[in-house]
Amino acid sequence: MLLALAGCKQEPSFDERFDAAQKKLEAKTKAIDAELSVAASEGAAAQAIESGSPAATN
């Protein structure tokens, strides 16, 4: 009986699950921000080309 219990892994605590979820969301947030930044840069460049003026850099 003890050997059977020793093989069971304890489930992560609430704090461990919360920290893991928070890290995952932060990574997604950074990825989305990077994607939006690239899209905004490409949009500004395309608009500058259409209007004939140089693109503003942020």
Encode pLDDT of 1-29 as tens digits: 455 556 678 999 999 999 999 999 999 99
The pLDDT assigned to 48 comes to 77
The pLDDT assigned to 44 comes to 79
The pLDDT assigned to 1 comes to 46
- 47 has pLDDT over 90: no
The pLDDT assigned to 17 comes to 97
Torsion angle of the four alpha carbons 41, 42, 43, 44, in this order, in degrees rounded to the nearest 10: 50
Measured in whole angstroms, the distance separating CA 35 from the mean position of its chain's CA atoms is 10
The pLDDT assigned to 29 comes to 98
